[in-house]
Structure formats: C-alpha cells, structure tokens
A and B are shown apart, each in its own frame.
Chain A
Amino acid sequence: MGQEVLLDIKDLSVEYVSGGGFFGRNRRRVRVLENLNLQVLRGETLGVVGESGCGKTTLANSLLRFIRPREGQVLFEERDVLSMDRASLRQQRRQMQMVFQNPFSSLDPRMDVLGIVGEPLVTHTSLRGKALKEQVTALLVEVGLGPQFVDRHPHELSGGQAQRVALARALALNPKLLVLDEPTSALDVSVQAQIVNLLAELQERHGLTYILISHSLGVVQHVCDRIAVLYLGELVELGPRQGISESPKHPYTQALFSSTPVADPDRSSKRIILEGQVPSPSSPPPGCRFHTRCPYVMDVCRMDRPAAITIEDGHWAACHLL
C-alpha cells in the first residue's frame, strides 16, 4: 500500500428534499452529507463506520454516481466522476464497483448466476457464448464457488453463496476500486469469516482498493488500514486502525468503540453510554452536531462547529476538547 491517492473526495454535500404536503409547504431539505473531504489511497482498505442515518450508504451511492450530490467532486485518478459525460461515466464504472448489503436484494431473482455475473461482461465487452461462460466460471472459482453454480438462481443460494456471486459480478470487469456496503451484516459469524478471508485474498491477488462501509466494528478493525467515523453526515475522526481503536479522540468514536459487545465474560472495561437518540438529519443541532449527546459538552460546542485537529500523522478529529 503506497501513498498514492486513488480517490479524492472534495467538499461532498448531498441533500434530500423530504416531505411535500399540500403545495409543497412542508418541504424540508435534509442535508445527509455535509462538506465531506476524504482521500482513499491505492491498495488500502478504508473503513467507514457510523450508525443509521450518518450518511454512509449515501456516500457509497454518491461515489458511484447512483445519486447526484448537490456539491463537490469525486476525483478518481484525478478525473471528476460527478461531472463526466455519460459515455465517460460508462467507461468509468468499469473501474469502480459496488457490493451491496443484502445480496438477495441486489441479485435479480429471475436471472441465473451465469446471467448475473455475465451481465457486466455482456454490457462492456464482446464476450459471448462459450467464451463468456468460461470467463464467468473462472470468476466463480475465484470466489470459491464451483462451476455447477452457473445454473442456479438466487433463491437456491445461501446468504454466503449469494454474497460470493455478488463479488464475482463486481470483479468481472477488473475494477480498481470496490465499495463494499455492509458486506457481512446479513451473514452468520462463520460465513462472515469466510467472506472476510476471501476479500483479503482477492485484494492481494488483484491489487484492489476497498472502501468498506460497516457498523460491525469487529470486522472493520480486522480488515481496515484506516478508519473514518461518520456522525450525522459529517466526518468526525479519521486515522489508522491502531490509532483509532486504541486511542480514539472524538467522544463519539470513543462511545462507538466501547459499545461493541466482546465475547469475553470477564471483560470489564468502562462502557461509555450515550444519552438520548441520534437527532434527525432534517434538523441537525447547531455548532457541533454531536453536542446533544456528548458527555463532555461545553458552551462552545453548542455554538461553533469544531475544526479538524491533527493528533498525529494521518490521525485527526473534529472536537473542541482537543
């Protein structure tokens, strides 16, 4: 893993317009992502963690331009994905692929595995017939599925098998970047281990860069080189795996990492229990968005947005405490 930037996200802001009512009187702008800046290095695995409503899935969808952000740029090898014309975007999509959370929702129930994994090849290449089937079979073998799976339909697959099919499809065009949105959340522990190991293997073999979005901190800590923490549409902390896990600096990160149940009955570390619920994204708190739940809240937190403070090389957090 080098220091070369593969993906540069600049000032990304995404808004949804919600509500309507009569004559649009109740329309509200919900800022789901606010001025996000993030760089992804070639060959790394970057984890994005946060709870529901923090904007992580929106981020994933923006990177691949499945939704149109209000502002910002997504520079892939210095070319802005968000402002490309359609022909260029089509080519661009070969480089960036996504694996979605629930494999059964992302696989067409009426297509067989050959059709599903072959679809990107049919769309972007001239492979057909026997050659296509051979390529699909090779991809299936790579993800640990035998050639007999080409005839199966999604309902005949287990969760783990379906996720492998989704992976095979994502790898079909030899992408450089894979965005994985909760790839193991719907899976059992033992299957999760298989998929995690497979992801590591594939990354090594193909020199892939991963953005791993997950609320499963155990998995994120296990596989990621760096971790970015999102709260209510904003990045609150970013740093290397060790730094963030062992000495998180933002109170939210601290609470998040202390909340994971650990499989050890004798573990007696201090739990940080946050009061209250996550505020609605349609009316985020003024100042620091986390101040309504922060155990260390001060007056300044209610009024001013905290700036990003560098803790050490590659590790920063946005908090007035620092």
Chain B
Amino acid sequence: MEPILQVQDLHVVFPTPRGDVRALSGVSFDIEKGQMYGIVGESGCGKTVTGRAILRLVTPPGKVTGGRVLFHGADLLLKSEDEMRQLRGRRISMVFQDPSAALNPLFTIGQQITGIMKRHGVAQGAALRERAIESLTALGLGEAEQLLCCYPHQLSGGMQQRVMIAMALCVEADLIIADEPTSCLDVTIQFQILDLLVKLQQERTVAIMLITHDLGVVAETCERVAVFYLGRIVERGGVRNLFHHTKHPYTQGLLAALPDPRNWGTTLKMIPGSVPSALELIAGCAFASRCEYVMDICRRVEPPLLPVGDDHLSACHLYAS
C-alpha cells in the first residue's frame, strides 16, 4: 500500500542579506495511512519548516528549491494555489503550537468550527452544529453545546488545543500535521491531550505527523521517528529501534543528555559545542564538529542515509557498513 505522504529530497532555502540559510537539505521520509510519525529535533533543525513546506506555507522569502512532496501519489509542489487551498484544512490539517494564536479571538468556537466545515463543503445546515458538537465531545470537552458560544479567551490552554484538534478532525483530514501541540500546556493536561490524540488517531485511521522536541512524547506516542539535525535527517526508523538501538551519535547524545532516574545528581552527559550556523556550507557531516567518534572521512564526505537494520536508517560513516 502506497504511503499517504512521501517526502523526497526536499530542499528549502531562506535567502538573507548574509547569504542563503539552508533550512532543509535533502529531507526524505514516508508516512503510511493511519500512522503516528514523529519528527524530532532541537531548535533550528528544520522540523517546523518541514511541516510548512508540505502545506506550501513556507514564510517568504523562504522557498522550496527542490524535491517532491507526494500526497496520495500527487506532487503538492506542482499544484496551483487554488488546488492547495482545497487541500489545506480539509485533506491535510495543521494543529499549531500556540492555540491562542491560532484561534480567531473575534469569533466564537462554534463559528470557527462550523466555518471550516462550511468552507470545505463537509456539511450543511443543521448537520454543521451536530458535527461540531460531536467533534468537541470526542475530544473530551463536556458541555459542548455551551462551548459553541464561547470565545477562545474564555477557554483554558488545554481546552483551546482540544478545539484545534477537533477542528482538524471534523473535516476528516487524512493527515494532521501537529507542530508541538502540547508544548504550551501543563504536564498533566499534556498527557490528556496526547492520549486523546493517539486514541482518535487509531479509531479514525488518521495519519499524524507529530513535530516535537520532546523525546519522551515521541517514545510514548509514535510508531516511527525521524531525527533532524541542521536541516537533515540523521536517523530514521521504527521507534523501538531508535530508542533502544540508537545508531547515530547525535541521537545518542540527545538521549544521554536527558535526566534519568537511574543517575540522579550525576553530571549529565552533554553534547559539546553548539549547532553550526545554517549559513555555513558544511563539507561532510553536519554533526562532525561535535561528534566524539569523528573520523577523517566525516569532515570530507556527507554521509548518506543508509539502512543499518530492519526499518532503521542512519546517516553516519561509523555505522554504515
């Protein structure tokens, strides 16, 4: 069965007065129908840009300079803006990090949810209200009828985020791109939302691309993961492989840097140095300057993403064989 989303060799560049910032340098991955896929990395790694590039919403002057984004086999990068508008919010939906910034403060929740459904012709008349209530209830929001009359500022952060997810679900999208959907929320609420997301995803076989910096969230909710570093994927595969049989020094570094109940109070293992500037043209591996296993070849040749196990790829000269 063909994956619902196939990203192939995607390149995104932001021209700046000081040179071109290479936000994405040849990113490739597939998401299957109904799969929970994690995109993980630290600030500046290109994970948000990936989500935006798929929807053709890269902030100008940034632009996609190469690659293909196949959705149900058709290349989104070749579609017209009109065709994209049909797709956005309907077949591919996005849930943003800060719900209070994404919801329109001037309209009620009811108006916003029914507005989306009307716009995409998903329902009409009385069915609009019914489906809105149904979506909100599915997200665990009690008293959904009253909620329809509320304005976003009257809701807590957790409730707002649920409304955003309800909006993504009520149009029955095939793919939801969720960019840090729980980062702004408290820990106990975060877990309520993630739980719901996984449950709904399984019930409705919606594919979710979960963009996050939180490895714990990825470990608990995702089936497959791609680890980003400086606009490239350094490791990719099934979640168990990635966490238990890590085969890239950056991923290992990230996991080792996490506080762990087995070593309280000890010095946390750090990744030395810092992420190179995205303006630099790096020969060889982007991580070479910080890697404890660096070899001569790492500084000269960029390692390709190669299989290192079953459903497991890594871009590293050390592990390629």
Binding site for B on A (CB under 8 A): 51-52, 158-160, 188-194, 196-197, 200, 215, 217-219, 221-223, 241, 245, 255-256, 259-267, 271, 273-274, 277-278
The answer on a CB contact under 8 Å between A190 and B243 is: no
The answer on a CB contact under 8 Å between A273 and B254 is: no
By beta carbon, the residue of chain A nearest B195 is A273
Chain A to chain B contacts (Cβ below 8 Å), 23 pairs? A188-B43, A190-B42, A191-B274, A192-B257, A196-B259, A197-B268, A217-B187, A219-B259, A221-B264, A222-B260, A256-B188, A260-B187, A260-B216, A261-B215, A262-B220, A263-B215, A265-B244, A271-B191, A271-B195, A273-B188, A277-B156, A277-B158, A277-B159
The answer on a CB contact under 8 Å between A193 and B257 is: yes
Alpha-carbon distance between A139 and B265 when the two chains are bound, in angstroms: 24
Which residues 168-200 of B have a CB within 8 angstroms of A?
186-192, 194-195
A190-B254, A217-B187 in contact; A196/B268 too (CB < 8 A)?
Answer: yes
Choose one: B189, B217, B269, B274; the contact of A160 (CB below 8 Å): B274
Alpha-carbon distance between A255 and B188 when the two chains are bound, in angstroms: 7
The answer on a CB contact under 8 Å between A221 and B244 is: no
By beta carbon, the residue of chain B nearest A245 is B261
Instruction: Give the A-B contact count at a CB cut-off of 8 A.
Output: 111
Binding site for A on B (CB under 8 A): 42-43, 156-159, 186-192, 194-195, 213-220, 239-240, 243-244, 253-255, 257-261, 264-265, 267-271, 274
The answer on a CB contact under 8 Å between A188 and B244 is: no
Contacts of A158 in B (CB 8 A): 274
Contacts of A223 in B (CB 8 A): 265
Identify 16 new A-B residue pairs, CB closer than 8 A, beyond the known A158-B274, A189-B215, A265-B219.
Answer: A51-B188, A52-B186, A159-B43, A196-B268, A222-B264, A245-B261, A256-B187, A256-B188, A261-B194, A261-B215, A261-B216, A263-B216, A267-B220, A271-B195, A273-B192, A273-B195
By beta carbon, the residue of chain B nearest A274 is B188
A188-B42, A189-B42, A218-B259 in contact; A265/B239 too (CB < 8 A)?
Answer: yes
Contacts of A188 in B (CB 8 A): 42-43, 213
Alpha-carbon distance between A188 and B183 when the two chains are bound, in angstroms: 12
